[in-house]
Amino acid sequence: MFGTLVNVASVALGSIIGLALRRELPERIKKIAFQGVGLATLFFGIRMALQTTNIVILFLSILFGAIMGGIIDVQSQLERFCDFLKVKTGSKDEKFTEGVLTAFLIFCIGPMTIIGSVQDGLIGDSSILVAKSILDGVVSVSLASTLGIGVLFSTVPLFILQGAITLLATYLSAFFIDTIIIELSAVGGIMLLGLGIKLLEIKNINVANLLPSFLIVPLILRLLS
């Protein structure tokens, strides 16, 4: 869990710096920095999605994951959780929920999250998560300066998710074969692509409703095998 703790600390530090700069930076600077994050998210999303070894698995995972997410309405569930955090923290920030969700999705659905957490759980090597922490810390400065204190509280779901993956990898090592990790990363790439489009205000996509796609990947691989 060392890598996850470092990651949480880096996002918290970056968020605090971003919040300190929020009133100092001109609006045009914050806007272009936010757009830069959106463009980088698009790039990483495309790059990750293209790593798939089977386009059918990628397509079906996203399709059935979207249907499942729409039925459950994951987006609304997460928004309610964010609203709960907002009430408990007494925050008056209008962008609190958006900040938590946006930061959580950026920090948690990339390949370094999956591979790093698995590696930390399997062999105790947290080097990937430590490297990810540096990137997340820098991004959190830009996000917090635009979206506010909600970015800081994205550390809560970040800790829960990465910690859960690490623990699963510790006790279910046979499950995390290379093929599953690659396809999970590709599915995450599609989500990052959707998030990038949303950040650039091209189209409002409820990316959180695609999260069940991660559960569909191993099921399809199991059926094909």
| pLDDT attached to residue 172 | 67
| pLDDT attached to residue 175 | 65
- Rounded to the nearest angstrom, the gap between the alpha carbon of residue 27 and the centroid of all alpha carbons in its chain is 26
Q: List per-block mean pLDDT (blocks of 10 residues) for the chain, which spans 225 residues.
A: 84 88 78 82 85 88 91 86 82 82 81 73 75 82 84 85 79 69 84 85 85 86 79
Distance CA 104, CA 98 (A): 10
Q: Which pair of tokens denotes residue 147?
A: 């979206």
DSSP collapsed to 3 states, 101-168: HHHHHHHHCCHHHHHHHHHHHHHCCCHHHHHHHHHHHHHHHHHHHHHHHHHHHHHHHHHHHHHHHHHH
**Residue ranges of the domains in the chain?**
2-224
Q: Which pair of tokens denotes residue 9?
A: 């600390």
| pLDDT attached to residue 179 | 79
Classified as helix, coil or strand, 84 is: helix
| pLDDT attached to residue 64 | 92
Model pTM score: 0.76
Q: Which pair of tokens denotes residue 205?
A: 């996509």
| pLDDT attached to residue 67 | 92
CA nearest neighbour of 187 among 68, 34, 33: 68
